[in-house]
Amino acid sequence: MGTIDDYLATLAPEDAAIIAHTYAVARSVVPDAEQGLGYGMPALTYRGKSLLSVMRAKAHFGVYPFSPAAIVEILPLLDGVDHAKGTIRFTEPLPDDTIRALVAARKAQIEG
């Protein structure tokens, strides 16, 4: 799989818009994030490490922050949202504040 832009081009326009918006919100937190790969998925990278990937699945969208600890950190914002150790699954767009909090948590981990 290629970059985020390549991936978005393969999606239905309505799905691409949701994913592109999620990445745009993430970039507002980490403007110097770059397109790359994380575990073979199109992702934003920061300082050479995977920051966030957003993918379309059959029945939902998945957000992968490459860190279970980042998900734990924002648990209060995930009330009613399906999530597991390494992913957040949604069918309706996540609130921008939730995305910003998740990306900020992951950025802080990368910065160490």
pLDDT in tens, 26-55: 999 999 999 999 999 999 999 999 999 999
Q: How far apart are CA 21 and CA 65, in angstroms?
A: 16
Query: Structure pTM?
Result: 0.94
pLDDT in tens, 14-27: 999 999 999 999 99
Structure tokens at 48: 């050479």
Phi then psi for 6, rounded to 5 degrees? -60, -45
User: Any bridge partners for residue 36, and if so which?
Assistant: 43
b (16+ CB within 10 A) / e for 69-84: ebbebbeebbeebebe
Structure tokens at 32: 């110097």
Q: Are 7 and 1 in contact (CB under 8 A)?
A: yes
Q: Decide if pLDDT at 1 tops 80.
A: no
Domains observed in the chain: 4-111 (3.90.1150.200)
